Amino acid sequence: MIVDAHGHYNTQEAFIEHASKWVKYEWEKRRYDGMVQAWKRFEEATTAESWIESLNRYGVDKILLQTAPWGSSDAVAKFIKESPEDRFVGLANIDFTAPYISDSVKELERCVKELGLKGVGELYPHIGPWDPGDEKIFPIYAKAEELGVPIMIHLCTEGGPVFNDQRYSDPYLIDPVLRAFPDLNMIICHMAGDRVGALFTLMHARPNLHAEMNGVSTPWYGLYDSVVTPQHIMKKFLERGFGTRLLWSTDVQAPYNSDFEKNKVRGHIKDNHVVKLLEEIGASEEDKANILGNNAARLFKL
């Protein structure tokens, strides 16, 4: 089974509802207005039929559709329910900044038990911002652990400037959560990007931490240049035995064959970039199968 562990489901209505509260400065308001139109285009490009066509074209069996922080849990659940094929896995948008955390706990239970969503994500602590290691939100983590659903979280420097407080992009912020909830599986998106060293250290110490691979194909912002290559990074992770804790992904906002995602498809699917990378470092067939789908299937109970 081939599973894309990081796609998005977007509607303009949900974006307006969930994103407007984070606008703080006038220059952010100007950027926000442009993003509202972008989300309209994403929505128009996203139909079940176009998605299924894309998945079939590139040999992907299932894709995880993440909706947080801009999306609607009900909208993604409706999209999946109305799809003619069982190809989509939905994640819930849970508010970790709500004034009453008990409401978020109840919402998580509703999303899993009533809507059939399989996890939470993609969380963005730098938007808000909020501290993912704050004990006052631990009841949400406790409920996720109880329900047996993973949480996907973005903990790396964010390229776009809007809404972002980079102090909250540090992977070490979730270490208290990993320690307090050893049966809660957490997945750091993009292999922590420019903070991959912190990810490596945390994965060594915390067996309930995982990572998805979007972002590893090119070290971010030229930070590593030719000193540390993607091959070097992946080899270190596999040598440490992390092959059962890495998930392949694309981070697409719309179907692969849409005009928005041509570059991502070229880098992640069409040219089999991740497969080539794994072959170049001599990854075992078992590691390749796990990374391309088995790990996601196990974590999300597909």
Cβ partners under 8 Å of residue 260, min gap 6: 41, 42, 45, 252, 253, 254
What tens-digit pLDDT sequence spans the chain (302 residues)? 999 999 999 899 998 888 888 888 888 888 888 888 888 888 888 999 999 999 999 999 999 999 988 899 999 999 999 999 999 999 999 999 999 999 999 999 999 999 999 999 999 999 888 999 999 999 999 999 999 999 999 998 876 656 778 889 999 999 999 999 999 999 999 999 888 889 999 999 999 999 998 867 555 444 555 556 788 889 999 999 999 999 999 999 899 988 878 777 766 676 677 888 899 899 999 999 999 999 999 999 99
CA dihedral 223, 288, 272, 123 (to 10 degrees): -50
| Residue whose structure tokens are 């790396």 | 156
In the prediction, which pLDDT does 178 show?
98
| Chain segment 243-286, per-residue pLDDT in tens | 999 999 999 989 998 887 877 776 667 667 788 889 989 999 99
Whole-number Cα distances in Å, 208 to 96, 149, 185, 205, 233: 20, 12, 5, 9, 20
What span, in angstroms and rounded, lies between the C-alpha atoms of 68 and 22?
Answer: 13
pLDDT (0 to 100) of residue 136? 97
CA 259-254-156 angle, 5° bins = 110
How far CA 150 is from CA of 116, 123, 157, 279, in Å, comes to 14, 12, 22, 29
Strands 120-123 and 246-247: unpaired
Say if residue 184 is exposed, middle or buried (CB neighbours under 10 Å; 0-12, 13-18, 19+): buried
pLDDT at position 214 is: 82
> Is residue 197 within 8 Å of 171, Cβ to Cβ?
no
Per-residue burial over 208-227, b if 16 or more Cβ lie within 10 Å, else e, is bbbbbbbbbbebbeeebeee
Q: Pull the structure tokens for residue 48.
A: 């079940």
Domains of the chain: 3-299 (3.20.20.140)
> Which tokens is 152 given?
């996907």
235 exposed, middle or buried (CB, 10 Å; 0-12, 13-18, 19+)? Answer: middle
Maximum Cα interatomic distance, the chain, rounded to a whole number of Å: 52
User: In terms of pTM, does the model score above 0.75?
Assistant: yes
Q: Percent of the chain, pLDDT > 90? A: 63
In Å, how far are 78, 185, 193, 274, 276 from 271, measured between CA atoms? 33, 31, 21, 9, 8
Q: 277 near 240, Cβ under 8 Å?
A: no
Residues 55, 77: Cα–Cα separation, whole Å: 19
CA dist., res. 260 & res. 6, Å (int) = 16
